[in-house]
Amino acid sequence: MKKRKFTRHVTSKWAKTRVLLKCGTLRSYIPETRKMSRQTLQEMLQHYGMVYVKPNSGTYGNGVIKVEQGASGYGFHAGTKVRSFDGYDELYEALGRRIKSRFYLVQKGIHLLKYKERKFDLRVMVQKNLSGRWECTGMIGRVAAPGKAVTNVHNGGKLVSVEQLLSGHASSARVKSLQRRLRGIGLTAAKKLHAKYPGIKEVGLDVALDSGLHPWILEANTRPDPFIFRKLKDRRIFSRIYRYAKAYGRV
């Protein structure tokens, strides 16, 4: 029988965010994130106008809710459901029915760039290579399904190459330099997380881009799906990702 090597998985978004915030070079890429409460949500809404609330240990975009404060009241978008409220108390009660007693976070909302009217964000894959060093092995974009506030593939998100998604937003030279920067961010994040959690072998960052192309780390996955990279035309990318994942016993 094949013996599986030990690969550490860390679920708590709060714990991982705190590790990344300790790093001076990453701090400017991390949207303000707080533990969800009646008070923190209200303060964050007043400050940012739009926030995301999400389960501390969620996956696949499940339970992730976009919340907004506008001139005429409040609103939220969960799954394909959109609701509005006149007052904060009504909003908070309705959210409470979904959240129940689970540990939730509230995070500054990033206005994601769009591709053909649909929001997208990026997944940056970083892995331990065959020499045991961290390597950024791939990047791919995820376009939200119509009517969804999340881009996850398990929520109908569509995989599209970064070059294609950004071609309408920046020159190819700018796209190349952004990709270089994202690789740097990915490597730094992986090393910081690994210093705290030495068993991890791979990190998949979910990165949002705002209208100024500033990258924002929405979350760091310690068990990212390697198979999404099968969608890229360049087959060598998935083949390398798979080879590394196999070497550390992930697939």
- Rule CB under 6 A: is residue 193 a binding residue for ligand ADP? no
Strand partners, 105: 35, 54
Locate tokens 């006149």: which residue?
A: 86
For ligand ADP, the binding residues in 101-120 under the rule CB under 6 A are 107-110, 112
Among 205, 208, 217, 232, binds ligand ADP (CB under 6 A): 208
The verdict on 61 binding ligand ADP (CB under 6 A) reads: yes
Query: To the nearest whole angstrom, how small is the minimum distance from the Cβ of residue 218 to Mg ion?
Result: 6
Strands (E), the chain: 33-35, 50-55, 65-70, 73-78, 81-85, 104-108, 114-115, 118-128, 134-143, 158-160, 202-209, 215-221
Residue 60's binding partner out of Mg ion, ligand ADP, none, with CB under 5 to 8 Å set by partner kind: ligand ADP
CB of 228 to ligand ADP, least distance (A): 12
Q: How far is the CB of 29 from ligand ADP (least distance, A)?
A: 12
Q: Taking the complex as a whole, how short is the minimal distance between the CB of residue 54 and ligand ADP, in angstroms?
A: 5
Name the DSSP letter for residue 132. Answer: S
Site of tokens 């590790």: 19
Task: Name the residue among 60, 58, 64 with its Cα closest to residue 95.
Answer: 64
Q: Which does 91 bind (CB under 5 to 8 A by kind): ligand ADP, Mg ion, none?
A: none
| Least gap, CB of 208 to ligand ADP (angstroms) | 5
Nearest CA to 106 among 51, 30, 69?
51
Residue 209 binds ligand ADP, judged by CB under 6 A: no
Query: Should residue 59 be labelled a site residue for ligand ADP when binding is judged by CB under 6 A?
Result: yes
The contact set with Mg ion (CB under 5 A) reads 206, 219
Give, for 151, the enclosing helix (H) or strand (E). Answer: none
By CB under 6 A, the count of residues binding ligand ADP is 22
Long-range contacts of 10-13 (CB under 8 A, 24+ apart): 10/193, 10/197, 10/200, 10/222, 11/56, 11/57, 12/56, 12/57, 13/54, 13/56, 13/57, 13/58, 13/105, 13/219
Q: Does 202 bind ligand ADP (CB under 6 A)?
A: no
The minimum distance between CB 220 and Mg ion, in angstroms, equals: 9
| Site residues (vs ligand ADP, CB under 6 A) | 31, 52, 54, 58-62, 64, 107-110, 112, 121, 150-152, 206, 208, 218-219
